[in-house]
Amino acid sequence: MIELTNVHKSFGKVEVLKGITASVEKGEVVCIVGPSGSGKSTILRCINGLESYDSGDILVEGAKVDRNAPSIVAVRTQVSMVFQRFNLFPHRTALENVIEGPIYVKKEPRAAALERGRALLAQVGLSDKIETYPPQLSGGQQQRVAIARALAMEPKAILFDEPTSALDPELVGDVLSVMRKLADDGMTMVVVTHEMGFARDVADRVLFIDGGVIVEQGPAKSVLNQPQHARTQDFLRRVLHPL
Amino acid sequence: MQAFWRDTVEFLPILMSGVALTIIVTIGSLLLSTTLGLVWALMRVSGVGVLTGFSAGLINVIRGIPIIVLLFYLYFVMPELGLTLTALQAAILGLGIAYSAYQAENFRAGIEAIDKGQIEAAQAIGMGWWQTMRRVVLPQAVKIVLPPYGNIMIMMLKDSSQASTITVAELALQGKLIASSTFKNTSVFTLVALMYLTMSIPLILLVRHFEKRAGQK
């Protein structure tokens, strides 16, 4: 349902994506791993048009992603995004954050949106935080509200941009378990992450990206357990055994 | 001192009619400058080259012209170009335009202070530019903008006295007229100063309230 064909992208003189070709099937969980600065996040940001790309093609459900075309709204309502820094709206309660998109973008009736919003917050384990403002929530709670906000759009896929990197270690588990449940329920997910355990256990496929190219890809267990490429081996060694 | 009280009783009613005009000019130009300032600021952050350039240029032109010259232009020059304004209209329009530049810069600073992640989050749920501004950016920017906005209100109240130069009989002009016909300069201008101060105090308290609230978050 998401297809990238030979995507190139430069920031000024620095080429961050040097011909990315990849696809994500419906119901698939794909983890993107790689060193920082390798272009992982940029790929996600290009998929829902937060960033433009210079050449190549990105298709979501067959429709070309073009951040300057009106069609981008349709893409974004189908492909939600969860950010590293949560980016919840601090002036709105948890529930208001969740219903913002359904009511003001999808024009759903308020009552229906509220009901689903409550159900989604319950699903991520935050029934008791419905009326709480984001600054009063822990990082893990904020990220779970952000996941509920993404789900409220009833997307066909969700992009996760390092969803646990800004969290205290003891809060990572809550967020990962919510994500694992989503994966079990068949949600299509593209996850940029440094959580190799999550990638190994939950992902169907892993893409290893370095220097703006896909160095290696394949089933999660084979890429992470028996990496073929020297750069993948080196990266995994440093991530898994930092000392 | 007794003479001062006698003068106060005598002049206060006339000065109060000036106060009424001062308030009308201040509120009128406050509304106009707020609206125009918001428009300039939104143009400035729109990301559309033509609008950004136009707004930046306009703000600099307005900032570079003294208020008094702007008022003269509207009141004395515009009739020659076929647009006749009453003194009050010219005063509100002139002060409103002059202050719109400062309002715009204040609003722009507030808008630009909002974390880019907020805008991306809004875009990611499918919001367009205008909706992002209205639902996400502006409600958060208000808190940042309010304390300086209060200061602009105080400056505006005082600068409304410049309307006297184009015959608007507001507080300063009423004072000047009474003083020049009675020669009681001390009583009259002390009264005028006290009356401006009295009108400023609620605004000063308001600014303090805004600052306290902004500091909490």
- pLDDT tens sequence across A200-219: 999 999 999 999 999 999 99
The answer to whether the beta carbons of residues A183 and A202 sit under 8 Å apart is yes
Note which residues in 69-128 of chain B have CB less than 8 A from chain A: 115, 117-118, 120-128
Taking the C-alpha atoms of residue A236 and residue A239, their distance in angstroms, rounded to an integer, is 5
Is B208 near chain A, with CB under 8 Å?
no
Q: Which residues on adjacent β-strands are paired with residue B18?
A: none
**DSSP 8-class letter at A65:** P
Taking the C-alpha atoms of residue B101 and residue B104, their distance in angstroms, rounded to an integer, is 5
* Residue given tokens 């593209």 in the structure block: A190
Buried b (16+ CB within 10 A) or exposed e, B45-61: beeeeebeeebeebbee
Residues B169-195 have pLDDT tens digits of: 999 999 999 999 999 999 999 999 999
- Chain A residues with beta carbon closer than 8 angstroms to that of B123: 49-50, 76
Buried b (16+ CB within 10 A) or exposed e, A85-119: bbbbbbbbbbbbbbbbbbbbbeebeeeebbebbbe
Q: From residue A162, give the alpha-carbon distance in Å to each of A12, A99, A143, B191.
A: 24, 24, 11, 66
Chain B residue with minimum CA distance to A72: B126
The answer to whether the beta carbons of residues B62 and B74 sit under 8 Å apart is no
Q: Determine the distance in angstroms separating the CA of A66 from the nearest CA of chain B, rounded to an integer.
A: 13
Task: Flag whether pLDDT at A160 surpasses 80.
Answer: yes
Task: Flag whether pLDDT at B135 surpasses 90.
Answer: yes
Contact A105 B121 (CB under 8 A): no
Q: How confident is the model at residue B217 (pLDDT cuts 50, 70, 90)?
A: low
Contact A50 B135 (CB under 8 A): no
Q: Which two tokens stand for residue B90?
A: 């010219």
More confident residue, B2 or A186: A186
Select from A85, A91, A105 the Cβ nearest to the Cβ of B125: A105
What region does B135 belong to: left with phi over 0, alpha with psi -120 to 50, or beta?
Answer: alpha
Task: Flag whether pLDDT at A33 surpasses 80.
Answer: yes
* Average model confidence (pLDDT) across chain A: 93
Taking the C-alpha atoms of residue A129 and residue A126, their distance in angstroms, rounded to an integer, is 5
- Chain A residues with beta carbon closer than 8 angstroms to that of B136: 89
- Mean pLDDT of the A121-135 span: 95
Ranges assigned E (strand) in chain A: 2-11, 14-24, 29-33, 55-60, 63-64, 79-82, 157-161, 188-192, 205-210, 213-219
Q: How confident is the model at residue B153 (pLDDT cuts 50, 70, 90)?
A: very high
Task: Flag whether pLDDT at B216 surpasses 70.
Answer: no
User: Strands across the sheet with A2-11, in order?
Assistant: A14-24, A2-11, A55-60, A63-64
- Mean pLDDT of the B40-69 span: 95
Residues B84-134 have pLDDT tens digits of: 999 999 999 999 999 999 999 999 999 999 999 999 999 999 999 999 999
Chain A residue with minimum CA distance to B140: A91
- Mean pLDDT of the A126-144 span: 95
Q: Quote the pLDDT of residue A57.
A: 94
Chain A residue with minimum CA distance to B131: A104
Task: Flag whether pLDDT at B64 surpasses 90.
Answer: yes
Q: Quote the pLDDT of residue B8.
A: 87
- Mean pLDDT of the A188-203 span: 93
Q: How much of chain B, in percent, has pLDDT values that exceed 90?
A: 84
Residues B11-20 have pLDDT tens digits of: 999 999 999 9
Select from B121, B131, B135 the Cβ nearest to the Cβ of A87: B121
Which of A71, A85, A100, A136 is the mutation pick for testing B, counting most B CBs within 10 A? A100
Taking the C-alpha atoms of residue A109 and residue A43, their distance in angstroms, rounded to an integer, is 34
Task: Flag whether pLDDT at A121 surpasses 70.
Answer: yes
Select from B118, B125, B128 the Cβ nearest to the Cβ of A101: B125
Taking the C-alpha atoms of residue B100 and residue B69, their distance in angstroms, rounded to an integer, is 16
Is A105 near chain B, with CB under 8 Å?
yes
Task: Flag whether pLDDT at B215 surpasses 90.
Answer: no
Task: Flag whether pLDDT at B2 surpasses 90.
Answer: no
Q: Quote the pLDDT of residue A243.
A: 80
Q: How confident is the model at residue A180 (pLDDT cuts 50, 70, 90)?
A: very high
- Mean pLDDT of the A151-180 span: 93
Q: Quote the pLDDT of residue B213.
A: 80
Work out the number of other CB atoms within 10 angstroms of the CB of residue A26.
Answer: 12
